[in-house]
Structure 1
Amino acid sequence: MNPNEITSKLKPLVDYFLELAVFEWGLSENTLITYRRNLNSYILFISEKNIDDLTKINSHFILEYLLTLQKRGISARSLAQHLSTLRGFYKFLYDEQIIDKNPIDGLDTPRLSKKLPHFLTEGEIEQIFKVAETSPRNKERDLAILELFYSCGLRVSELTHITIHDLSLNEGMLRVRGKGDKVRIVPIGNVAIEKIQNWLRIRETGKVKSSAVFLSKTGKSMSRVTLWRIIKHYAMLAGLSDRVTPHTLRHTFATHLLNRGADLRVVQELLGHSNISTTQIYTHVSVERITQAHKNAHPRA
């Protein structure tokens, strides 16, 4: 395969990767433009180096590319952004079995201050449920989806894989298969249990071609893209930002628990984080809110 064939092969893969990134991560238009620009820059570098086989790309090649960018005078933040783009792209290539080994594994991202996760207030999340209650179609299914996201803090990929056998509604528990096929047991709130029961009664009367809890109108398991669209739909009906995604509800779940006094280790377990440092970002949100409340309320703040 010559270098031109490599670039021709990569460009449609970039398009598919960015399409998935929009639906799964809720990328804004500006971020999408940045990702595409970063990947186009990388593909040009591959072409300039006459790479004719993807298997020839290793961590040393990635470092060479990053050093080239650094010599051009880009900031540490932009460099980290390029690496983050490549990390996501190569994970996609590996997950899709286009490559056998991820060349970016082990490369460290330049240390930067972490961006605080976007979450909804308790009033905003209630507004989403309120508009969903008035939905003329799929109300029971969509309410169950919304409640599970918010009640259990699930990733969108986790919710798509929940089957009837994972539910233990009498015990109020749910079995979740997370990243790396790690299984965790999480409690389901009473309101969520009620909504799930309502949906299951309707589910039995329609087409059922899968053991998945949430089915499309064809009776098959719902896709991640469809779930993303459902969340976006109700968020916009509620007058909220069009950047609300399933992951926003996961952030909201964690933030609300900590705001109401939940232990950090418990939240870590519920989210399925292998490292507590990942969970600690939510403590910054809670501390920030407490500090602001103190400034607003205390006469000597």
Structure 2
Amino acid sequence: MQLPPVIPLFDSIDYIQIGNPLVNQHITQLSLGDLDEAGLVFEHATDWLFEQKYNENNYKAYRSELTTFLHWCFDVIKLNVSAIGRREVGLYIEYCKNPPTELIGYFNVAQFKQDKTSDERTPNPAWLPFRGKKVDGQIQPYALSDSALKTKVAILSSFYSYLMGEDYCEKNPAQMWLNKSRFSSRQKYRLNTDDDNQLAFTELQWSYIMSTVEKLAKAQPELHQRSLFLIKLIYSCYLRVSEVSARAGFSPVMSQFKQNRQTGIWSFYIPKSKGGKSRSVAVSKALIDALTQYRSYLKLSPLPTSNEQHPLIVRQKAAGRGREVGNLNANLGIRQIREEVDKIIVIAANSIETDGFCEDALQMRGLSIHNIRHTGITHDININGRPLSHVQADAGHESIDTTSQYLHTTQIERHESAQNKPLDYLQGIE
């Protein structure tokens, strides 16, 4: 089968969530090589694009830009998206200003086409990522206007904003480039950050979530014992959804719970997280109890062995498609885990609303699985009193400044703590 020189990654809106076997194979090969985050970024990009389903023009513009950018990351500079900085964005802009001649097309063609024989969607071999112009049949020098350039980087900045909300990265290199570019003095293309991405559930809201999932696990264990353990794990270990989800090259297993032979202390090992870094998270007794309960339901030994390969979050029914098709004893992907936990949040929101806490219910419906990580961090710092340095290490924050943002104090608390401050600690000592 003939393929285009650059493989389009995202089909039209009607097909994007179905997936394409050739694209999936391409992404898997990248993930198993040096670009180990390719599969994760592809899933994030697919979800971000799907959010544009009600605006066809936005979808087409975003899809085109993401395809070009990911081609440059994966095929040209060969870097994970999380490794891109302001300098690399500048290099990408130069690449877009002067693309290879063989990647410039002069006709609008669909990125995918329907195979008449197999009825399958396949990448269109005639598609090219850059669009040139002809005048009277003569090819014109390729040029990227200022307007097109600003739109390109604004879309890229919006994507990085989404990735930050998903805890994939901590910086927006596209916005950093814009702020330092010649466009910054004309118009500030500030990132529209969504503060909800950093919100934690209140103590009351979190209590409703925990009581809701506990009740569901008791009433329907075949459906929600998994949900109960998953929520406790994410909350206790401040996990990103990508750290408990299966993707190409990574499938979470029980033996990530590790016990130190000398001290007997348990930890949860994350082999590869944001930026390709690994970390070990300190585990509470309550989480070990939750693990024991979950494993008992799965008819496993109370605690995992050091080399146990049993999936961490098991399926309730065999996969219908994808690399795990027909396999029941397999992990869930990002989308399935997100949907499962978000359903629990909605049920808890309905419950708290029934009890008269309408504002809490409204806020809870705007939060998601990602806010559980923030809740665990916030509660440990502000309620449980864990040292910032300990939380920083367990959360995988590069800087203590990031962890410090979770410190919450009220004006009354600050006033009370300042009431009895002495001006001279040694006054009166002879």
> TM-score band (shorter)?
0.5 to 0.7
Does residue 108 of structure 1 match 2:177? Answer: yes
Q: Alignment partner of 1:175: what SS? A: strand
Report how many residues are paired. 258
What is the CA–CA distance in structure 1 between the aligned matches of 2:406 and 2:279, rounded to whole Å?
Answer: 20
1:173 shift after superposition: 1.7
1:259 shift after superposition: 1.6
Instruction: Find 1:68's aligned residue among 137, 147, 151.
Output: 147
Deviations 1:45-79 (A, max 9, x none): 89xxxxxx9779933256897941587xx9xxxx9
1:156 shift after superposition: 1.1
Asked if the contact 2:53/2:59 (under 8 Å) is kept, the reply is no
What is the CA–CA distance in structure 1 between the aligned matches of 2:372 and 2:331, rounded to whole Å?
Answer: 21
Q: For 1:1-301, what aligned pairs fall within 5 Å after superposition?
A: 9=8, 11-12=10-11, 15=16, 20-21=43-44, 32=52, 37-38=57-58, 40-41=60-61, 58-60=92-94, 67-68=146-147, 82-87=155-160, 108=177, 110=179, 115-116=194-195, 117-135=198-216, 136-137=220-221, 138-160=223-245, 161-168=251-258, 171-177=265-271, 178-204=273-299, 211-217=310-316, 218-239=328-349, 240=361, 241-260=364-383, 261-283=385-407, 286-287=408-409, 290-291=410-411
Deviations 1:108-158 (A, max 9, x none): 364658654121012211211111112113332221111111111001121
Shift in CA distance, 86/37, structure 1 to aligned 2, threshold 3 Å? farther
Gaps of 5+ in 2: 20-40, 77-90, 98-142, 164-172, 180-189, 246-250, 301-307, 317-327, 350-360, 416-430
Which AA in structure 1 matches 2:336?
T
1:22 shift after superposition: 8.8
Deviations 1:214-255 (A, max 9, x none): 111212112222211121111011014344322110111111
* Structure with larger RCO (C-alpha < 8 A, sep 6+): 1
Q: Alignment partner of 2:310: what SS? A: coil
Shift in CA distance, 197/81, structure 1 to aligned 2, threshold 3 Å? farther
Deviations 1:153-179 (A, max 9, x none): 001121234322111366232112222
Deviations 1:8-33 (A, max 9, x none): 93651884599944997xx799x646
Which AA in structure 2 matches 1:275?
S
Asked if the contact 1:214/1:222 (under 8 Å) is kept, the reply is yes
Asked if the contact 1:140/1:195 (under 8 Å) is kept, the reply is no
Q: Alignment partner of 2:370: what SS? A: helix
Shift in CA distance, 106/59, structure 1 to aligned 2, threshold 3 Å? farther
Q: Alignment partner of 1:9: what SS? A: coil
Higher helix content, 1 or 2: 1
Q: Alignment partner of 1:168: what SS? A: strand
What is the CA–CA distance in structure 1 between the aligned matches of 2:174 and 2:342, rounded to whole Å?
Answer: 32
Asked if the contact 1:155/1:247 (under 8 Å) is kept, the reply is yes
Gaps of 5+ in 1: 47-52, 91-103, 296-301
Asked if the contact 2:161/2:193 (under 8 Å) is kept, the reply is no
Which AA in structure 2 matches 1:131?
T
Shift in CA distance, 271/67, structure 1 to aligned 2, threshold 3 Å? farther
1:80 shift after superposition: 7.3
The TM-score, its normalising length taken from structure 2, stands at 0.48
Which AA in structure 2 matches 1:140?
Q
Asked if the contact 1:232/1:243 (under 8 Å) is kept, the reply is no
Shift in CA distance, 114/226, structure 1 to aligned 2, threshold 3 Å? closer
Asked if the contact 1:22/1:32 (under 8 Å) is kept, the reply is no
The TM-score, its normalising length taken from structure 1, stands at 0.66
